[in-house]
Structure 1
């Protein structure tokens, strides 16, 4: 049956006048399926050997590298009530512009003349300290005068003592002379008595010599008394010297005590002055804190307080400032398995939210709308989600990042790793192997330079 139909068709196809017959029964026509199959296989084989850039994909947000360039809160230093607002949300301010005026709410600082009264206390204490210092100086002069007076008094008494000592010596010598004279008169009176008994001399001569002896004896007694008086005067001078030393020592000690007491009072007053000056400086600084100033230039956002008369506590947030000058960066959050593959200096491509892009992750050069970055730092601790934070800055050698970026905007990062064949990358993904670990070329050059 089949042979018959074949022969029947084969016999008629050459003589058929119908085009449809020729289109349906294409027995003798040549096919190109094999060529297409071999071509597709060849193309697939070539594609398997094409280079593919391994990468790590992660999401992040736009931020800055420097902490002072990030949005910051403006807090009040002192407690107070709102008196006047000088800005509104969305306004741009410069560093030092007034944001808010506060009024006092604490009773201790409500006196409008608080600074003047404190200054008067400082002046009074300063005058008191000057008085104590002058008193101490006067006491010191008094001590010097008493010391000099003591020295003069002692010199005077020393001279008197020397004079009295010489007088005692003179009286002692006089007494010795009188004793010699008494001894002579004693021998003479004894000889005269013998001579009177022998009748050699008369009674008148004997009486005359006896009178001489009596006078010499009286002279001896007077000389002895004089010597004792001189010795007594010498002792009195010594006692007077000791008394003078004691008197002047007491006066000098009292003057020294007054001087030290004045110095102590002056030091205590100086401490009170320092304390009052500290209080005065604190009051002055507190008065300046009534006006809250912008710490840097930027835009005012997120005002937490409103109205007039509302009370603020110490440290309460007033507004938030977004700086107008900052260096863009992106913080990416990568998984712990990819963290060892990230090193400083590594290249990263970004697709920012709001900017159209066509991305070929394996061929970054062929991507459109992506921007280049360089890894600056990789933190060694994880966040609450168990991921590591990586900071990436703008690549200075590539296309600059858009000026329309804003803090907190989203970014999809592609960390570029090693270039491998597509076949190897497919085999790695099928087997679940991680990307190849490598170090950027910049690190290698740096190591060689070191």
Structure 2
């Protein structure tokens, strides 16, 4: 620094030769400015750059440049820089010099600023992902619900107003059904009477079917008994026919024998060996044998007729019994069919009765959940509503709070279930310091519960954040209601400030690690150490 001052003094003592004051005024001003700049630049370089040889080279170069500017031909006589310093026109040159007592202070200030910048560069910085969302409920049945009309009807009476707390099953309003098929006031009683009548008809038909079923079983037993009996009588008639035929054969033999006796007795009578009486008895016996043969033939004919009659009777009995059995089965099937038709009609009437009951119930709009009525339809008593018209909106008394948040697709890989999130609810006073989560005030803690596996069609990914059970609970529903906007910061890795500035300057995405970072990881992250 002493050498720099001597150089400046030498420059100031260089005389100006052969020139008037008016002729050298431009050159004096140029030299003055160059000398001032030279001294200031040398002072700054000597404070910042610690290498003296490098400073000496810079000083010599600047001195040569200034002398060349002073000694260049301008139509004036040459002048020395030392003479300019002694001129009364350069008194301001001494005024701009840094006083000796302030040189140490300026150097100390510069060193302190540099040291402060160095310390700040290694200040720990927490990387975060900024997301937004709104408060809701994790379970669908605890989210705000619209109560819609289920039937076309006319509003009879409102039972609630906006802001009223309701419980499950409370009546909200009543509707009069406008469907012509269900407008009769005594429709339910008429349908109930018809259903009972059809039920009685069905029961009667089933009873007849049961009786006919029993009769069919008896007739089947009768068939089993009657047909064998008729067959036995036919077999008996066949036996009589065989017996009659045997008698005919015996009678024929007797007749032949009697005729031989008659011829023998006639010959003996001509010879006088037998009397006339014996001949007559023989003839009578022959006639009796012929009569027996004729009687046997008549008996055979009668037996055959009886056998035929019994055979026909057996077939007739079987046919009659089978016909009666078929008639009984047909009657039973008819009764069963009548019972089935009655049952179908009962089902139809029961369906209409159930629909009528359901429409009567649908005419009474009930609250599906416990909550508060927050919005009512602009419809008064006597106005008509249609199915699907929104009548009221109910905000449930939710105990399963959650925040539905959305993250950009570039940040989606950094999200995982269980990661901590700092939350700021709109309207709740807070001091957000994402870089230092421990210093945040007025924020709440959450945990990522679930992350959608597909985007929302715009490249964004939705995820749910639920309260962290290990931290303080979220504000009550009276302060933060469903639909309240919220801002969140997903906590990632802790890095030094210089690394975060370097990352953002290079547009690199933030990184994270599952385990808590060590001191080395904090001061020198992996990316800063060149790790892959």
Higher relative contact order (CA 8 A, sep 6+): 1
Q: Secondary structure at the match of 1:31?
A: helix
1:424 to 492, 499, 509: 499
Q: For residues 233-268 of structure 1, what are the alpha-carbon distances to aligned partners after superposition, in whole Å with 9 as ceiling and x for unaligned?
A: 011101100011111111111111111111111111
- Residue 91, structure 1, aligned to residue 158, structure 2: no
Closer, same or farther in 2 for the Cα pair 1:349/1:146, shift >3 Å? Answer: same
Equivalent positions of 1:280-295 (< 5 A) are 280-295=353-368
- 88-97 vs 156-165, which moves further: 156-165
TM-score (norm 1): 0.88
Whole-angstrom distance in 1 between the partners of 2:200 and 2:486: 69
Residue number in structure 2 paired with 1:375:
448
Structure showing greater radius of gyration is 2
- Residue 126, structure 1, aligned to residue 199, structure 2: yes
Q: Secondary structure at the match of 1:163?
A: helix
Residue number in structure 2 paired with 1:115:
188
User: How many angstroms does 1:393 deviate by?
Assistant: 0.9
Whole-angstrom distance in 2 between the partners of 1:175 and 1:100: 109
Equivalent positions of 1:350-389 (< 5 A) are 350-383=423-456, 385-389=458-462
Whole-angstrom distance in 1 between the partners of 2:485 and 2:226: 98
Closer, same or farther in 2 for the Cα pair 1:194/1:313, shift >3 Å? Answer: same
Segments of 5+ residues of structure 2 without an aligned counterpart are 1-8, 14-82, 87-96, 517-532
Whole-angstrom distance in 1 between the partners of 2:432 and 2:142: 31
CA RMSD of aligned residues (A): 2.3
Equivalent positions of 1:47-446 (< 5 A) are 47-383=120-456, 385-403=458-476, 404-439=479-514
Mapped contact 1:343–1:378 kept (Cα < 8 A)? yes
User: How many angstroms does 1:30 deviate by?
Assistant: 6.2
Whole-angstrom distance in 2 between the partners of 1:329 and 1:80: 38
Q: Secondary structure at the match of 2:146?
A: strand
Mapped contact 1:94–1:294 kept (Cα < 8 A)? yes
Mapped contact 1:93–1:300 kept (Cα < 8 A)? yes
Whole-angstrom distance in 2 between the partners of 1:25 and 1:134: 128
Closer, same or farther in 2 for the Cα pair 1:311/1:160, shift >3 Å? Answer: same
Mapped contact 2:136–2:143 kept (Cα < 8 A)? yes
Q: For residues 69-101 of structure 1, what are the alpha-carbon distances to aligned partners after superposition, in whole Å with 9 as ceiling and x for unaligned?
A: 110000122111100000011111111111001
Mapped contact 1:345–1:440 kept (Cα < 8 A)? no
Whole-angstrom distance in 2 between the partners of 1:390 and 1:25: 63
Q: For residues 298-328 of structure 1, what are the alpha-carbon distances to aligned partners after superposition, in whole Å with 9 as ceiling and x for unaligned?
A: 1112212321111011121110000013322
Segments of 5+ residues of structure 1 without an aligned counterpart are 8-23, 442-450
Whole-angstrom distance in 1 between the partners of 2:392 and 2:211: 61
Q: Secondary structure at the match of 2:421?
A: strand
Q: Secondary structure at the match of 1:345?
A: coil
TM-score (norm 2): 0.75
Give the number of equivalent residue pairs. 425
Closer, same or farther in 2 for the Cα pair 1:27/1:33, shift >3 Å? Answer: closer
Mapped contact 2:137–2:398 kept (Cα < 8 A)? no
- 223-232 vs 28-37, which moves further: 28-37
Q: For residues 196-218 of structure 1, what are the alpha-carbon distances to aligned partners after superposition, in whole Å with 9 as ceiling and x for unaligned?
A: 34332234432321221122012
Whole-angstrom distance in 2 between the partners of 1:255 and 1:302: 70
- 329-338 vs 40-49, which moves further: 40-49
Closer, same or farther in 2 for the Cα pair 1:199/1:413, shift >3 Å? Answer: same
Whole-angstrom distance in 2 between the partners of 1:115 and 1:334: 57
